[in-house]
Amino acid sequence: QEKLLEVKDLRVSFFTYAGEVQAVRGVSFHVNKGEAVGIVGESGCGKSVTSQSIMRLIPWPPGKIVGGQILFQGKDLVNATEQEMEKIRGNEIGMIFQDPMTSLNPTMTIGRQIAEGLIKHQGLSKEQARAKAIEMLGKVGIPSPEKRVDQYPHEFSGGMRQRVMIAIALACNPKLLIADEPTTALDVTIQAQIIDLMRDLQKDMDTSIILITHDLGVVADLCERVIVMYAGKVVEVGTARDIFHKPQHPYTWGLLRSVPRLDARKKEPLSPIYGTPPDLLNPPKGCGFAARCEYCMKVCLEQEPPVTDLGNGHQVACWLQHPQAPKPERLQVKEV
Ligand code: SF4
Ligand code: MG
């Protein structure tokens, strides 16, 4: 399989008055051509910072990519010039965000906002771009696109606005679509429709997708592979099948326990993961999850868990999995 994107040992820090906040601490993963990959984790785990790094949208100051590589079609985006990035953003890599209202321009018609990128990146004439805008609105399931194309964002519902965002993001037929919490602001029915739409378009246009979300349920519907992030690191990665049916990291177990089950006859109470993530101003020496992990051993506090390869691309960074792990010496979990 051909790799479209390869992130290697990415490190991103925010330099604040208090010191260096290490938001992303050596993240590596890849995305194959035409593949949908989910990045999941709680807010602050570094998933959005990772995606913003790929687009080179980390604001300096205070944020900065301090190490690693982001190979997109073999080219390292970490060293790309701003000019090169402008050609890539919106053209080769499209992006959609949680709140379309903040990313759409309220003073511009939807048609012009879709056309902008087509004129800028693909050299289409105004008329061609407008025709393509109408085609895209139809493609994302907006009724009577010929009429809607001249309307403004406020004339669309939340779900329809997200469809418009997808139309904008896909108009230039990007090779990669980064979707950061694209359905979080929408109600459950609309959420499912948007995910269906993304799946259809992905198959249709052979676009690779990175879906960033705190919601494992959303990932199950769309993604072939899942990357679980915690405290600025990848703690587990595998096929969606392995992550959902054979998860190996205590944090992934916690995430799975907190997925609401729509099919459950009786509403089971969700079990949240207690405690909060560590302060990345002073990252813990050992495992980042130790303070919240009910299986925490002495070694977990002292040494970073190495990555164990379980085959089939399933990797986990946890001492429980490591064949050479010292004998589990149960520790009482310290106060959280
Ligand atoms: Fe828990 Fe230790 Fe595994 Fe970290 S390395 S998740 S503390 S068992
Ligand atoms: Mg985020």
Window from 14-18, 37-41, 197-201 with minimum mean pLDDT: 197-201
Q: What is the pLDDT of residue 260?
A: 65
**Residue 98 pLDDT more than 50?**
yes
Mean pLDDT, the chain, whole residue set:
90
Q: How far apart are CA 228 and CA 38, in angstroms?
A: 8
Q: What is the pLDDT of residue 183?
A: 86
Q: What is the pLDDT of residue 326?
A: 59
Which amino acid appears at position 114 of this protein? Answer: I
Domain membership flag for residue 111: no
To test ligand 1's pocket by mutation, which of 249, 253, 293, 330 has the most ligand atoms within 8 angstroms of CB?
293
C-alpha of residue 318 to centroid of ligand 1, in Å = 5
Task: With residue 307 as reference, give the H or E element that holds it.
Answer: strand 307-309
Q: What is the pLDDT of residue 241?
A: 95
User: What's the mean pLDDT in 269-285?
Assistant: 85
Residues spanned by the domain of 50: 3-92+172-321
Query: What is the count of structural domains for the chain?
Result: 1
Ligand with an atom nearest the CA of residue 50:
2
Work out the burial of residue 183: count CB atoms within 10 Å of its CB; fewer than 13 is exposed, 13-18 middle, 19 or more buried.
Answer: buried
What pLDDT digit, counting tens, does each position of 123-166 carry?
999 999 999 999 999 999 999 999 999 999 999 998 999 999 99
**Residue 332 pLDDT more than 50?**
no
Could you tell me the CA-to-CA distances from 34 to 11, 62, 169, 276 in Å, in that order? 26, 34, 16, 35
- Phi, psi dihedral angles at 50 (to 5 degrees): -60, -45
Which residues line the pocket of ligand 1, CB cutoff 6 A? 249-250, 287, 289-290, 293, 295-297, 300, 305, 318-320
Q: Which atom of ligand 1 is nearest to the CA of 294?
A: 1
Domain membership flag for residue 103: no
Ligand with an atom nearest the CA of residue 40:
2
**Residue 119 pLDDT more than 80?**
yes
Cα radius of gyration (the chain): 21
Residues 6 or more apart whose CB falls under 8 angstroms from that of 172 comprise 90, 91, 92, 94, 117, 118, 121, 122
Is cis: bond before 62, omega within 30 of 0?
A: yes
Q: What is the pLDDT of residue 327?
A: 55
pLDDT band at 2 (very low <50, low <70, confident <90, very high): very high
pLDDT band at 333 (very low <50, low <70, confident <90, very high): very low
What pLDDT digit, counting tens, does each position of 58-91 carry?
999 999 999 999 999 999 999 999 999 999 998 9
Q: What is the pLDDT of residue 128?
A: 97
Domain membership flag for residue 160: no
Q: Which atom of ligand 1 is nearest to the CA of 287?
A: 4
Q: Whose CA is nearest to atom 3 of ligand 1?
A: 318
Q: Do residues 299 and 255 touch, judged by C-beta distance below 8 A? A: no
Domain membership flag for residue 150: no
Ligand with an atom nearest the CA of residue 180:
2
C-alpha of residue 212 to centroid of ligand 2, in Å = 8
Domain membership flag for residue 24: yes
Window from 83-92, 98-107, 163-172, 224-233 with minimum mean pLDDT: 98-107
The residue behind tokens 């600025």 is 232
Q: What is the pLDDT of residue 334?
A: 40
Q: What is the pLDDT of residue 324?
A: 72
C-alpha of residue 133 to centroid of ligand 1, in Å = 50
pLDDT band at 214 (very low <50, low <70, confident <90, very high): confident
Higher-pLDDT residue of 204 and 260 is 204
What pLDDT digit, counting tens, does each position of 285-301 carry?
999 999 999 999 999 99
The CATH number that applies at residue 225 is: 3.40.50.300
Domain membership flag for residue 151: no
Domain membership flag for residue 97: no
| Residues surrounding ion ligand 2 at CB below 5 Å | 48
C-alpha of residue 128 to centroid of ligand 2, in Å = 35
Domain membership flag for residue 149: no
Q: What is the pLDDT of residue 165?
A: 92
Q: What is the pLDDT of residue 335?
A: 39
pLDDT band at 1 (very low <50, low <70, confident <90, very high): confident
